[in-house]
Amino acid sequence: MIAKAEPQEHMRRKRDAYWADLVGGVTGRYKTEQVARLLEGHQLPEDSAVVDVGAGTSGLGDMVAELGGAARIIRVDYDEGIVATGRAAETDPAVEWRVADARDLASWSDRVGAVTYFDILHELYSFVGREGENPAVDHARGRAAVEEALSAAAKLLAPGGVLVITDDVLPEEEVTVGVACLRTEIAELVRRIEGEYRSRPLEIRWLDDHTFELPARTFITLLTHYNKPKVGDEARWSVEQMEVHEYMKVSEYESFLRSAGLTPRIAAGTPPEALAEWRADFEVLSGLDDFPLKRVAVVAVK
């Protein structure tokens, strides 16, 4: 097993900047709809539990339990503070809270009908993927940590059980994209992010004051993060600077999950509000026909 990271700094920053958006905002609504659609009509194995990994403060695991008819919910987080607060406030006897790392599931013996990862795998990728003091995430190392967690979960699932994943997604196309900033403030913002973001080199090549080229895989990273400093949300920007949100393409989810013995259903798309904001700030000039897709939702059946 890959050594566990100790992302204390991340936990500290996040406690100061915990975001409601992941559950109730644009992203929260979008991912809830995507997952509900993919899960429609799927009955979870009888008497099984939903294990919501990286549950944080969200109740999205409850939706999966309700839709699939699960008997119990086990909320898991490696942040002891989150678990202690959740446990103290819990009134539902069918809900249990556990402190555990996403990769600990290999040693569990519960009867599990669903394991859910709502916007947590990118954290595993980012923190385990970093070696020593190097601020850049090593892709192979991060990816191996994600695969280790998903493989353990796939083994734990009872037949007919599901893995559920939501996150940001890498574009399929490995191309260089030409981009124009539509206002001077946006060009200045891109230069700021270029200077401050260390988790993945953005590889931006400026062509003039307002126009640049970069790989499609870092264009989506830029699009994911730029609106936090844009609106002055410095607390959230300080958290997200430590993260890479995009670690797999749709085709990579597909092939990895099949090799783990699961049958995936996958939906990829962009929340309309995010697309409207991108269109107001940038224009795609070359390389792609349009902006890359932002979000992925996966339901993989055992």
Ligand X SMILES: C[S@@+](CC[C@H](N)C(=O)[O-])C[C@H]1O[C@@H](n2cnc3c(N)ncnc32)[C@H](O)[C@@H]1O
299's enclosing H/E stretch is: strand 295-301
We find the least distance from the C-beta atom of residue 56 to ligand X, in angstroms, to be 3
Using DSSP, state whether 173 is helix, strand or coil.
Answer: coil
CB of 7 to ligand X, least distance (A): 7
CB of 220 to ligand X, least distance (A): 17
Among 70, 120, 162, 260, binds ligand X (CB under 6 A): 120
Say whether residue 168 binds ligand X (CB under 6 A).
Answer: no
Torsion region of 58: left, alpha or beta (phi above 0 gives left; psi -120 to 50 gives alpha)? beta
Any residues with CB less than 8 A from the CB of 43 and at least 6 apart, and which?
68, 69, 160
Three-state SS at 140: helix
Closest distance of CB 117 from ligand X, Å: 8
Asked if residue 181 binds ligand X (CB under 6 A), the reply is: no
Q: Which of 108, 118, 226, 291 binds ligand X (CB under 6 A)?
A: 118
Burial class (CB in 10 A: 0-12, 13-18, 19+), 149: buried
Q: How far is the CB of 133 from ligand X (least distance, A)?
A: 20
Distances (CA, A) of 208 to 187, 213, 237: 10, 10, 26
Q: Does 115 bind ligand X (CB under 6 A)?
A: no
Question: Quick check: 137 binds ligand X (CB under 6 A)?
Answer: no
The contact pattern for ligand X, residues 21-40, with x = CB under 6 A and - = no contact, is -xx-----------------
CA nearest to 147, candidates 113, 124, 127: 124
Choosing from 83, 112, 124, 214, the residue that interacts with ligand X (CB under 6 A) is: 124
User: Counting contacts by CB under 6 A, is residue 77 touching ligand X?
Assistant: yes
Q: Which residues pair with 165 in a beta bridge?
A: 117, 298
Answer yes or no whether residue 240 interacts with ligand X by CB under 6 A: no
62 is an interface residue for ligand X by CB under 6 A = no
User: Quick check: 119 binds ligand X (CB under 6 A)?
Assistant: yes
CA distance 202 to 195: 10
Helical H segments across 5-74, by residue range: 8-16, 26-39, 60-68
Nearer to ligand X (CB atom), residue 62 or residue 101: 101
For ligand X, the closer CB: 42 or 122? 122
Binding residues vs ligand X (CB under 6 A): 22-23, 53-56, 58, 60, 77-79, 82, 101-102, 118-120, 123-124
